[in-house]
Amino acid sequence: MAVATDREFGLFIGGESAEPAAGDVRGLTEPATGEPLARAAMAGEVDVDRAVDAARAAIEGEWGRTPGTERARLLHALADAIVANRAELAELEARNVGKAISSVKAELHQAVENFRYYGSAIATIGGRANPIGGSLLFYSLKEPVGVAAQIVPWNYPLMMATWKLAPALAAGCSVVLKPDAQTPLTAIRLGEMATEVGFPPGAVNVVPGDGPTTGAYLVKHPGVDKVAFTGSTKTGGEIMRLASDPVKRVTLELGGKSPNLVFADADLDSALPSSAWSIFYAAGQSCEARSRMLVEKPLYDEAVATMAELAAGIKVGDPLDPETQMGSLVSQAHRERVHGFVERATDGEVVAGGALPDGAGAFYPPTVVATTNDTEIAQEEVFGPVVTVIPFDDEKDAIRIANDVRYGLMATVWTGDPARGHRIAARIKSGTVGINMPYTAFPGIPFGGYKQSGFGRELGLETLDLYLETKSVIVGTGARPINPFGL
């Protein structure tokens, strides 16, 4: 594979590559090797102003007049462009994030399907009509919210961008997308591809930059109508505050500490390897990573030992090797943070991993910690390849522990008793519950949080409504004049 990382990645504003006004161009490092990767422009306030102006002009111009059928065609064309450029996108993403290319390929597949799903879902956009009392007729119009600011994190730069872009564009909004400063490359390519397939200038703008400065300026911008944010719960709270003056529509996809409940009656040949996958894929840098494995007590010692064996067998290494199952973490700084959690976990026992490997790459081994639910490592989002294994007594205790955390994004239940699976699904406070399967996100299935994991949903039909206004039109149809004062 050879991808053109020697080019400079500009900002993407108004349908073309743009230089940053303040000349901020940074060298990005490849996390798995510590070597230079590419040079990328970072946006400042002037660039955000230009991007918001371009997005506004698009809504008031050609993009705002583009009918649903044409928007659908464009979304499908963008899906085709991702397919055509998949080798380049996969390599860029794997090298920029350090993530195993086998994972990235699955993410790319979902990115494609997501544009196709929303391309087709445009057909569902429509209002209602209703006669009221014989003399009034009500009908509703669905209109795009306007300019959407979309802020995404570094863990799935391409997939998160597509989760956000597809429903917004389907609804007819224009977008100013801000990727994380560390991982801008595939989002910039997506902006370029959108223009190549025919999206009018300004429909998609991409302005990578630092969160507390460029991101905050974008969120506060009076030209922005809606803010869709994916990131940490702490930053999510700050986004709500920033989006309050002037008031904007806000949706938040935030952190998680998702439970994975294993009952002694489960099919352990699936449950245990799947449990390992559901924390260690993407090196645990997933919002819904099942980082709390809750195990019924008679099975606990066996499950801890098996998880340690499975963790030790995971192929960690070069992200570009198709056999690699886990690449590096996103940066050395993030690795320090992850390792800090493990070092402080003195209440528990580290039964696999937990040691910093030698070498320049930001690698961290799959790590298993036997502990209880009241420890820092069980309660806080580590966001790395670290699973806590926690014992429970019975079904009631399992539900109590599963819910005893501030997050509520995802939960998985492994049991041989189907009725128990449904009972637990109804009682766990999380946006998604998986029963005897570890997968999470599919176009068409709403994904999002309860509690401190945020609000709003992605990937579902519901998401379209979050980018649409409902306008009620009421028409007088009575035979007599309307004269409420009797004048």
Distance CA 370, CA 314 (A): 19
- Closest contact distance (angstroms) between CB of 232 and ligand NAD is 4
Please identify which residue in the block is written with the tokens 């999002």. 448
Q: Which stretch binds ligand NAD (CB under 6 A): 27-35, 315-323, 338-346, 447-455?
A: 447-455
- Closest contact distance (angstroms) between CB of 452 and ligand NAD is 10
Binding of residue 153 to ligand NAD (CB under 6 A): yes
For residue 431, give the nearest of 260, 284, 258 by alpha carbon.
258
- Closest contact distance (angstroms) between CB of 423 and ligand NAD is 26
User: x/- contact string, 36-75, with ligand NAD (CB under 6 A)?
Assistant: ----------------------------------------
Among 47, 225, 253, 465, which residue interacts with ligand NAD (rule: CB under 6 A)? Answer: 253
DSSP 33: T
User: x/- contact string, 205-244, with ligand NAD (CB under 6 A)?
Assistant: ------xx--xx--x----------xxx--x--xx-----
Measured from the CB atom, the residue of 13 and 282 that comes closer to ligand NAD is: 282
Q: Which stretch binds ligand NAD (CB under 6 A): 147-155, 341-349, 385-393, 465-473?
A: 147-155
Distance CA 350, CA 237 (A): 33
Measured from the CB atom, the residue of 232 and 436 that comes closer to ligand NAD is: 232
Active site amino acids: 253, 287
Structural tokens at position 116: 């196709």
- Closest contact distance (angstroms) between CB of 164 and ligand NAD is 10
> Residues 6 or more apart from 23 whose CB is under 8 A from it?
none
Binding of residue 111 to ligand NAD (CB under 6 A): no
Q: Which amino acid is at 284?
A: G
How far, rounded to the nearest angstrom, does the alpha carbon of residue 177 sit from its chain's CA centroid? 13
Say how many C-beta atoms besides its own lie within 10 A of residue 469's C-beta. Answer: 16
Measured from the CB atom, the residue of 47 and 318 that comes closer to ligand NAD is: 47
- Closest contact distance (angstroms) between CB of 156 and ligand NAD is 6
Measured from the CB atom, the residue of 29 and 230 that comes closer to ligand NAD is: 230
Distance CA 296, CA 328 (A): 32
Distance CA 143, CA 178 (A): 24
Distance CA 115, CA 402 (A): 34
Whether the bond between 222 and the residue before it is cis, its omega within 30 degrees of 0, is no
For residue 177, give the nearest of 140, 135, 226, 243 by alpha carbon.
226
Binding of residue 364 to ligand NAD (CB under 6 A): no
Q: Which stretch binds ligand NAD (CB under 6 A): 190-198, 249-257, 266-274, 459-467?
A: 249-257
Binding of residue 10 to ligand NAD (CB under 6 A): no
Among 155, 186, 275, 328, which residue interacts with ligand NAD (rule: CB under 6 A)? Answer: 155
Distance CA 327, CA 365 (A): 10
SS3 for 136? strand
Among 93, 107, 180, 318, which residue interacts with ligand NAD (rule: CB under 6 A)? Answer: 180
DSSP 303: H
Distance CA 406, CA 13 (A): 38
Q: Which stretch binds ligand NAD (CB under 6 A): 33-41, 102-110, 248-256, 294-302?
A: 248-256
Distances (CA, A) of 210 to 42, 108, 234, 390, 428: 8, 25, 16, 37, 36
Binding of residue 24 to ligand NAD (CB under 6 A): no
Q: Which helix (H) or strand (E) holds 57?
A: helix 45-60
Measured from the CB atom, the residue of 300 and 383 that comes closer to ligand NAD is: 383
Binding of residue 151 to ligand NAD (CB under 6 A): yes
Q: Which stretch binds ligand NAD (CB under 6 A): 62-70, 251-259, 302-310, 465-473?
A: 251-259
Handedness of CA 39, 44, 50, 51 (dihedral sign): positive
Q: Which stretch binds ligand NAD (CB under 6 A): 88-96, 111-119, 153-161, 476-484?
A: 153-161
Contact 356, 329 (CB under 8 A): no
Measured from the CB atom, the residue of 139 and 442 that comes closer to ligand NAD is: 442
Within 379-408, the residues that bind ligand NAD by CB under 6 A are 381, 383
Binding of residue 154 to ligand NAD (CB under 6 A): yes
Within 254-283, the residues that bind ligand NAD by CB under 6 A are 254-256
How far, rounded to the nearest angstrom, does the alpha carbon of residue 414 sit from its chain's CA centroid? 25
Contact 462, 124 (CB under 8 A): no
How are strands ordered across the β-sheet holding 36-41?
Answer: 8-9, 36-41, 25-29
CA dihedral 153, 180, 360, 35 (to 10 degrees): 140
Measured from the CB atom, the residue of 73 and 429 that comes closer to ligand NAD is: 429
Among 166, 287, 329, 350, which residue interacts with ligand NAD (rule: CB under 6 A)? Answer: 287
Which residues here bind ligand NAD, judged by CB under 6 A? Answer: 151-155, 160, 178, 180, 211-212, 215-216, 219, 230-232, 235, 238-239, 253-256, 287, 381, 383, 409, 449, 453-454
